[in-house]
A and B are shown apart, each in its own frame.
Chain A
């Protein structure tokens, strides 16, 4: 539940920032990308859709995405995503707790975008 709630909060923050944060607005203004964040079993999943300045999101596993961040389990995902440590995601990837499917360049883009609003 904590992980799903975190993803919802993240969506809310991004949505609000798309109206109020000028740096973030510029950052997402020309980009179309579908970023899926999910657990490996697909039980918890949320898609973030960026469409040239607009942010939308819905829950549930999806086949079509530009990049998918696949977490080993919800607890790991929550602990890493809510961590302030710079190397949290890196360590999770190195330890096999995070897999990035699709084009990883979008994962970097997404992470850089989050930095603008957090």
Chain B
């Protein structure tokens, strides 16, 4: 009779049912048996330096691979450390499976090591959470966890596994693994709603399609391509949906960054919003009070949030677009698209000049342009920071799905996501350059993950946009309190490149425009995880800061 421990059973399920290839983790006593199982079943472990980063890497891995990322954390502080990453995935609607240790069931209420009510803490930031109490039900619980994470609107799930079931063994044959089933059942709108949407789409004179993360999650690239090709709608793809069609598509307005949308949306007579929430990132739709709006969202409750839709189509984006395709007419909105591009270009003259011309000190827009000069569109970009997120969003361009990710610009506004996302990006696309543009403030949160990158030979390239401050906060405080009263906003000059060198990576300091490209090229040649610490103009304020401040000023 072959015996299997609970920990090994977890790993067996992950490998044989869900085909999990990588688990992001930190070792811990309560989860030792799962870790041993991961070795037994040859699942790669990326052991990080802070559980927050493990959750963020798994979150990003989910985006890059369109399958749930898995992280494994130990009880107590391992759990609490992971909470920020879990909350970030929750607000980002990303499938994330968190497996967590806990104190033994037998020691409940005895003051056991790391005894705490983890479930009640994690419940508000997960789609589903549970504790498994029976070794034989481990596969069943895992199956529920993966289904909950991925079906309908995705989100993080949390499964607590106590040592009472991990460290004991059972007859392996007595535990049947569930058969993984990809459910082909999709919610789709009523035909009359589709026809109503098509009528609006066919009547559009100045349309705009805005796609969000739901476009990527549904894997709707082909359906979207056909829809755009037929309707001729200019489009912007935001959040994790960026790259579902390439940024260089002739109808794409992503090169205008948020300015493109701010310029175009108020003029649009029809807006299709697919897989994107109308939240503060979209300024809760105040940008387009007069347009007719068709919304597509897998979560019916989102359809009228903050803005009544003229037609709401609840369903998977790809499926809905496919259903709309035969109902919409072939249109050419090329003239409107050109007009829109010309209009927002008139608003971006200064930014374009900043990109073209060297300056001393270096302007962050110029820094982004020089990075693009080295890597072009055949690369994956991440930006992390306040102002830095704006510069990355506006300046980076990629030909790839999720080729430009700005995780700190998502709902949680979670700084520190950049390096973990870049590591997950490089693991997902080892043959492509993966570059993270990090603010110097945000660099501090998870920069120890360079140790992870060195140990696991994951050669990301981090360019620090170093303005020696929490730039967005500093400039925002300058506007509200006065430049002489900024508080907790200065960081000073720090040699982050030396820190990375100390961890075994490659580092260079850059202070002049002419040195940016050669330094990046040397970092690539090193083959190591690299940090190029670029000192940029500390007086520069990004438009995002102005909007951020105006948002509070209006209160």
Contacts and interface: CB of A to CB of B under 8 A. Distances in A.
Contact of B262 (A87, A91, A108): A108
A94 B543 contact: no
Contacts of B350: 100-103
B176 interface: no
A103 B344 CA distance: 12
A91 B335 CA distance: 12
A105 B349 contact: no
Interface in B535-555: 541, 543, 546-547, 550, 553-554
13 contacts: A30-B553, A32-B479, A90-B266, A91-B343, A93-B346, A94-B343, A98-B346, A102-B350, A103-B543, A104-B347, A104-B348, A106-B546, A108-B262
Nearest to B341: A94
Given A86-B266, A99-B349, A105-B547, 12 more contacts: A29-B553, A93-B342, A93-B344, A94-B340, A94-B343, A94-B346, A100-B350, A102-B350, A104-B259, A104-B348, A105-B546, A107-B347
Given A29-B553, A31-B553, A96 B546 contact: no
Interface string B156-187: 00000000000000000000000000000000
Q: Report the contact-size class of chain B (Cβ under 8 Å from the partner).
A: 20 to 34
Q: Report the contact-size class of chain A (Cβ under 8 Å from the partner).
A: 20 to 34
Contacts of B480: 30
Nearest to A30: B553
Contacts of B343: 90-91, 93-94
A116 to B, nearest CB: 12
A58 interface: no
A91 B340 CA distance: 9
Contacts of B347: 93, 100, 104, 107
Contacts of B349: 99-101
A103 B267 contact: no
A102 to B, nearest CB: 6
Contacts of A32: 479
A107 B349 CA distance: 13
B10 to A, nearest CB: 50
A94 B342 contact: yes
B263 interface: yes
A29 B347 CA distance: 26
Which 7 A-B residue pairs are closest in the complex by CB-CB distance? Answer: A30-B553, A93-B346, A104-B347, A94-B343, A105-B543, A93-B343, A94-B339
A25 B554 CA distance: 11
Interface in B288-306: 290
Interface in A69-101: 86-87, 90-91, 93-96, 98-101
A8 interface: no
A31 B550 contact: yes
A109 interface: yes
Contacts of A26: 554
